[in-house]
Amino acid sequence: MTSQGAAQKSTQIAQELLSLHPYRRARVISLYSSIKGEVSTEEIFRKARAEGKIVVFPKVIGERLEFYCVDGLDNLRPGSFGILEPQETSSLYPLMAIDLLVVPGVAFDMYGNRLGYGRGYYDSILRQTPRPAAVALAFECQIYEGILPVEDGDAPVDMIVTEERLVSRILSKGVDPPNS
């Protein structure tokens, strides 16, 4: 996919997310800094801030993610694995203060299962109960029509937004896949 194609599809995905009830009702949202061809979150950031929402980004601290408020994308600096992260001088937000968790990934299936980059940071959050609503952003080419291999520590997202459709775990055959 060309960078222009990815930008256009990222805009479509952003527009769809911005129309969803979980986004509209959220006061505090968590976004990620996109890498390796992931869906860009910049447009979502700008819109959320313009609407007066609090936007937090994750920072790797040891073996976990902590979330810090970001007022501008220029407040992000290269951190763990070269991914842009907030500075620790920003306000720290506990997970339960977040209303909507926007999650990255490499591949997803129709049951909300995801393949990340193998560190398990988001999986540890997704396994928590209670937790914020979790929506993944993905290009259609990242959706696997079968069932992804699921390991014990893996946890699904609630919805996946692509440029072509919305995949909801609740709507996907109404049942959890085997081994979930």
Structure tokens at 93: 């937000």
Determine what percent of the chain is predicted with pLDDT higher than 90: 75
> How far apart are alpha carbons 109 and 159 in whole angstroms?
10
- What's 177's DSSP letter? P
Average pLDDT over residues 133-143: 96
Q: Could you tell me the pTM of the whole model?
A: 0.90
Q: What are phi and psi of 33, to 5 degrees?
A: -90, 120
Radius of gyration over every alpha carbon of the chain, rounded to an integer in angstroms? 15
Query: Residues 29, 48: contact at Cβ < 8 Å?
Result: yes
For residue 174, pLDDT beyond 70: no
CA pair distance 30, 6, nearest whole angstrom: 21
User: What is the predicted pLDDT for the residue at 180?
Assistant: 42
Instruction: Supply the DSSP symbol for 140.
Output: G
Domains detected in the chain: 3-113+121-164 (3.40.50.10420)
